[in-house]
Chains A and B, each alone.
Chain A
Amino acid sequence: MTFEQVLFFVLAAVALASGLGVILFRNAVYSMLSLILNLLSLAFFFLMLNGMFIATIQVLIYAGAVMVLFLFVVTMLTSDDARVGGPDRLRWQWGAGFLLAVIFAGALSLALLQGTVARDACTLDPQGCLAAQVAKNGNTETFGLALFHAYSFPFEVTSVLLVIAVLGAVVLGQRALRAGREAPVEQNGAAEREPEEASNAR
């Protein structure tokens, strides 16, 4: 076995084990940490696939920024473990879920093993393919050239998406803030009154 194969199998084992950890840990904080380990192992996979820039932003943005935000919310909402717990009324879901998982994974693997490999772009265009460009311009430059020349429109659409997401989060957070400031009794009263008003209006 070459070094690359050993590395691949170790990383695959770490990625799959931490992926299983995400769904099997009872405590959501452990699931979260397991997910971060999974994202880091995927960053190593990206490095093995010559995607240095993508591996870097995977670590910085995903395993860094997004997961910190996630961890804040998880620790805020699971301060006492009893809230999501109690008797599971839909226990059969686990059996059905794993049955569907076996079928799904089998079908995907079958499709992958039976599929034919598409043509390598370097056989068609030895100058413009990814390996040649990375050798000529470097990894990050290749990505930047592609992003700002051929794919500048999707990049701009991305900025609109981010603005919409930020505005949406602000609006949702504001409503939550207002609900939090009111006295909880009043809020329950309002929630109870609402159906009556609705029926009166009808």
Chain B
Amino acid sequence: MPVSAYLIVSALLFTIGAVGVLVRRNPLVMFMSIELMLNAVNLSFMAFARFLNSVEGWIFVFLVLTVAAAEVVVGLAIIVSIFRSRRNIDVDELNLLKG
């Protein structure tokens, strides 16, 4: 398969993730959409590593995995603490901008 086939799958997955962040109201699903976008970019990195024959793509995927793990840990902690103080995690309801 040519490299553009992988890149188009990656672009479509990234678009799906972006739409998820825009339209969903559950912050957990928005988080999953962010994971989807990160993984779409990982697919591009792997395709470029394979077709340009350079190891940098793998290194980038490794670093993206690490950053995604850190982001999930902190983001979920924030969502849990919002849930504990408000009993409601609908992002449209979180419009007060005060403690």
Residues of chain A whose beta carbon lies under 8 Å from any beta carbon of chain B: 4-5, 8, 12, 15-16, 19-20, 22-23, 28, 31-32, 35, 38-39, 42, 45-46, 48-51, 53-54, 57-58, 61-62, 65-66, 69-70, 73-74, 76-78, 83-84, 86, 88-90, 93-94, 96-98, 100-101, 104-105, 108-109, 112-113, 117-122, 129-131, 133, 142-143, 146-147, 151, 154, 158, 161-162, 164-166, 168-169, 172-173, 175-176, 179-180, 187, 191, 194-195
Q: What are the 6 closest A-B residue pairs judged by CB atoms, nearest first?
A: A165-B70, A23-B20, A172-B77, A108-B11, A129-B53, A176-B81
The reply to whether A5 and B29 contact each other, CB–CB distance below 8 Å, is no
Given A112-B11, A176-B81, CB of A146 within 8 Å of CB of B1:
no
Given A16-B12, A109-B11, A143-B55, CB of A28 within 8 Å of CB of B26:
yes
A contacts with B: majority SS: helix
Contact residues in B for A90 (Cβ distance below 8 Å): 92
B contacts with A: majority SS: helix
Assembly CA distance A83 to B80 (angstroms): 14
Assembly CA distance A69 to B79 (angstroms): 13
